[in-house]
Amino acid sequence: MRKLLAGVVLALVAGATSCGGGSPPAPETDHPRSPEPSATPPPSPGVIAGRAGLQLREPPLPSEPLPHVFVYVKEGLEGRTFPLPKEPVLLDQVNFQFVPHVFGLRAGQTLRITSQDTSQHNVFCQPFNNPGFNLSMFGGESLEKSFLKPEVMILFQCNIHHIMKAYAGVLDHPFFAVSGPDGRFEIQGLPPGRYKVAAWHELMGIREWDLELARDHGVTVDVSYR
Residues lying near Cu ion in the complex (CB under 5 A)? 121, 158, 160-161
C-beta closer to Cu ion: residue 158 or 190: 158
Phi and psi (nearest 5°) for 10? -60, -40
Shortest Å, Cβ 112 to Cu ion: 17
Shortest Å, Cβ 161 to Cu ion: 4
Structural contact between residues 207 and 33, judged by C-beta atoms closer than 8 angstroms: no
> Of 174, 220, 218, 219, which is closest to residue 45 (Cα–Cα)?
218
Shortest Å, Cβ 133 to Cu ion: 15
Shortest Å, Cβ 210 to Cu ion: 41
CA distance 66 to 85: 28
CA torsion 155→85→82→223, rounded to 10°?
Answer: 40
C-beta closer to Cu ion: residue 59 or 132: 132
C-beta closer to Cu ion: residue 161 or 173: 161
C-beta closer to Cu ion: residue 120 or 146: 120
CA distance 207 to 201: 9
Shortest Å, Cβ 189 to Cu ion: 36
C-beta closer to Cu ion: residue 68 or 121: 121
C-beta closer to Cu ion: residue 121 or 145: 121
CA atoms within 13 A on the CB side of 61: 7
Shortest Å, Cβ 134 to Cu ion: 13
Burial of 120 (0-12, 13-18, 19+ CB in 10 A): middle
> What sign results for the dihedral spanned by CA atoms 59, 201, 178, 123?
positive
